[in-house]
Structure 1
């Protein structure tokens, strides 16, 4: 059996096991519901347009209807408001509109009657402040939790095979390196599928929100670049997580052995979140392999990255991923069949016993 066939066999096995895992299925469903709810629920609980009462042939009725308000024609608009049948009323007082309301006038009614001044935007392409904060946060959260969750699952899978001595049977059937590559590819495929589902549900849910249609075109380029950055970044970290799983013999030891990898995931996450408004720091982070999967899409979203920058950053990330794969494979091979306690990173790196397997 050659390496490609062995990798395909291992990846297929990992996919079948994971797709039957109720925890994985439940977590995927949970994230989908959460993504849809975060988009749809605010719009649902925001309520409909305000209702406003006017007299017959009111000069203000066309403007109120054009604003999408619910207009009720009544002989006594004030009575309609007092009876609770309308949020407010608009009457004429000396040729000027007057809003009648019980406690406070709904803002949409006041805006409908206001004369908006001419506005000239000096920076028409500027991103809304709320979106400018949330989008980097979402990119960082997706990469952080996905790489951490699926990475830990890969490590746990490797350790479980060591505990049950299943790994000895697998090594006898396929090359050791095929086990590593197959697990990483299967985990990457599942992670990317989960992210794609969440993105699709979020885009669909955005159709129910105000401003969603305007925001999606701005997100398009960043989301399209996020995919290759996400894939390479995930493979880079997943290969190290597989090595972590091979270093230990018990599930309880994964946290301690994987602390360097956890720090490598957490540090870029917090840097992007807290320093997203610092152009120099974000430019540097977009070329650092551990932070590039989130920093570069963020810069593409806010328009601060030149057209050539994502290509250069992607090449740097690809080189780092190749190096991580080689390092992860060496650590994985040097510790997979060790069953006499936890193996140190240095000992796994030096061990060449399984190089010929």
Structure 2
């Protein structure tokens, strides 16, 4: 006589397991997931693309500096000072006209007569937001510099650093897609029934999250090491000095943010039984990643909005490092946001563990959250 054991009986997600057994199972699953990811060409191609983009953003702007800076000159004294330089000089009638050209960014700076008598050179340099070092160096003198619209932080630094932070957040935020796809594949091929007959379901979930977090940490560390090299090669030493403290905070924020989302990606995968149905299941998660990304990119110069975003767990991995970079956040704020993010990750993992356990062995199409939640307490038949 043949005895058939149903998958529901072989899988006992609620049965008690010892701590050593759970940790051992989690480690085995994590090792399997890490090795599987490292064998994928897409993993290495993705990392290579990120590194190539980082170096391109740091180096390419410096290659466009072949054209000499343009300046507006007012009066004979300015013309004399500019004689023999390689600057592109544009003569204008008066200081007001020169300032208008600077404001419209038609010229990089203006050299105008010094009416205060404070300059030994007889001229002053007028710029828009930041001192034009290339113009001052070309003059071979050190005249006073007046800024029409001084910035608190260099605009070119914002244009380089904030988009890079946003891109890295976006890539790693959606990186949990592999966990969802892996879960669906295991359900579709019925491999999951074999897995949960030997290890607890929660250990399977924990192993996937640990593996994803480890790989994320490795990739972030690689980027953290590569970023200073890229900035030095691109002649962006001042950017490196400004971004280094924020970069150190970006690593723990990004890893915890990945753990927060990874549990939800796993649940999204467990709610469907076919790869074709995964698209509808991950829409809320994509909104949780794209929403914070666009919010920070649009409102990064709004102090109130950025303060709120830096404490919301789903957006704090991006918003708080950006605020630290711009100097708008204190260390205690970063610690508070990091603590809140860690607590949220633990809470989400506990909730996700129940949903994952309840949905993993159900293979009858898309499963509702209510059904997944209730099936954990439902006795096996």
> Cα deviation per residue 1:96-126 (whole Å; 9 max; x = unaligned)?
773498x979x96895236442348999993
| Greater mean alpha carbon deviation, residues 20-29 or residues 237-246 | 20-29
2:258 corresponds to 1:239: no
Q: Which residue in 1 is equivalent to 2:374?
A: 350
Q: Once the 2 structures are TM-superposed, how far is the Cα of residue 177 of structure 1 from its aligned partner? A: 0.4
2:26 corresponds to 1:35: no
Question: In the TM superposition, what are the counterparts of 1:68-147 in structure 2 within 5 Å?
Answer: 98-99=83-84, 112-113=138-139, 115-119=141-145, 126-147=152-173
The normalised TM-score by structure 2 is: 0.74
In structure 2, distance between residues paired with 1:111 and 1:121 = 17
2:279 corresponds to 1:255: yes
Q: Which residue in 2 is equivalent to 1:225?
A: 249
Decide whether the 8 Å contact of 2:271 with 2:368 is kept in 1: yes
2:28 corresponds to 1:3: no
Q: Once the 2 structures are TM-superposed, how far is the Cα of residue 306 of structure 1 from its aligned partner? A: 2.3
In structure 2, distance between residues paired with 1:178 and 1:18 = 18
2:321 corresponds to 1:297: yes
Decide whether the 8 Å contact of 2:54 with 2:164 is kept in 1: no
Q: Which residue in 2 is equivalent to 1:14?
A: 33
Q: Which residue in 1 is equivalent to 2:184?
A: 159
> Cα deviation per residue 1:19-45 (whole Å; 9 max; x = unaligned)?
111121222222222222332344346
2:198 corresponds to 1:173: yes
Q: Once the 2 structures are TM-superposed, how far is the Cα of residue 331 of structure 1 from its aligned partner? A: 1.1
Q: Once the 2 structures are TM-superposed, how far is the Cα of residue 253 of structure 1 from its aligned partner? A: 1.2
Q: Which residue in 2 is equivalent to 1:269?
A: 293
In structure 2, distance between residues paired with 1:24 and 1:242 = 18
In structure 2, distance between residues paired with 1:122 and 1:180 = 57
In structure 2, distance between residues paired with 1:232 and 1:306 = 20
Decide whether the 8 Å contact of 1:286 with 1:295 is kept in 2: yes
Q: CA RMSD in A?
A: 3.1
Classify the secondary structure of the residue corresponding to 2:300: coil
Decide whether the 8 Å contact of 1:333 with 1:354 is kept in 2: no
Decide whether the 8 Å contact of 2:57 with 2:160 is kept in 1: no
Q: Once the 2 structures are TM-superposed, how far is the Cα of residue 287 of structure 1 from its aligned partner? A: 0.8
In structure 1, distance between residues paired with 2:189 and 2:378 = 20
The structure-2 alpha-carbon separation of the partners of 1:4 and 1:270, relative to structure 1 and needing over 3 Å to count, comes to same
Decide whether the 8 Å contact of 1:243 with 1:331 is kept in 2: yes
Q: Unmatched 5+ residue regions in structure 2?
A: 1-19, 70-78, 91-107, 109-133
Q: Once the 2 structures are TM-superposed, how far is the Cα of residue 158 of structure 1 from its aligned partner? A: 0.4
Q: Once the 2 structures are TM-superposed, how far is the Cα of residue 266 of structure 1 from its aligned partner? A: 1.3
Classify the secondary structure of the residue corresponding to 1:315: helix
Q: Which residue in 1 is equivalent to 2:308?
A: 284
Q: Which residue in 2 is equivalent to 1:332?
A: 356
In structure 2, distance between residues paired with 1:224 and 1:45 = 30
Decide whether the 8 Å contact of 1:264 with 1:290 is kept in 2: yes
Decide whether the 8 Å contact of 2:30 with 2:207 is kept in 1: yes
Q: Unmatched 5+ residue regions in structure 1?
A: 51-93
Classify the secondary structure of the residue corresponding to 1:2: helix
The partner residue of 2:240 within 203, 208, 216 is: 216
Classify the secondary structure of the residue corresponding to 1:308: helix
> Cα deviation per residue 1:240-294 (whole Å; 9 max; x = unaligned)?
0001111111112111011111111111111111111111111111111111111
The structure-2 alpha-carbon separation of the partners of 1:110 and 1:296, relative to structure 1 and needing over 3 Å to count, comes to closer
